[in-house]
Amino acid sequence: MTVHLVTGGARSGKSRFAEQLAAMAARPTEICFVATGVAMDAEMEARIARHRRDRPAEWRTLEVRHDVAKAIEDGEYKVYLIDCLSLLLNNWMFDLACTETLFWRKLDDLTAALAASSATCIVVTNEIGLGLVPADAESRRYRDWLGWMNQAIAQMADRVYFVASGIAIDLKQLPGSVVVR
């Protein structure tokens, strides 16, 4: 089991970097892209279509709206690239009307599946906690839950990359890095 977490802001280059990690880890036919995004409007449809065009055609794509843990537990592939936790959490919150109890259960299922996987798992997420405190309770809850998801995956990950302006920094390799538990 190897887990890489790739985080950063919007348009930071995190998905492109994660795809490069996947391409270095296996042959194209051994890579499964786990897409969590849902096309809710024309702009999102175009965005998803662009991502599909940009990925190698030999990669398998699974569209997984809620149960990423189940998708990687099946274990058919050498590499699973999960893009992204931010949209997965959105799906949990709004499709499943996720309570905090259900959130923690689903997060536990996901971390357990990642830990048990014999594949290389590359997980992409957004770092949204660097800005202003959101004005409404629902947005604060989303920010808090995504922060907790990111921390949980980062703690168990072998490598944690922060991507800014197309440059990836391996946070766990920085001198003096300390994992807060």
Show the CA angle centred on residue 92, arms to residues 127 and 71, nearest 5°: 90
Strand order in the sheet with 60-63: 60-63, 31-35, 79-83, 120-126, 2-8, 159-164, 167-170
Q: Are 83 and 15 in contact (CB under 8 A)?
A: yes
Token reading at 20: 């490069």
Residues identified as active-site: 51
Q: Are 176 and 31 in contact (CB under 8 A)?
A: no
**What are the phi and psi torsion angles at 90 (to 5°)?**
-55, -45
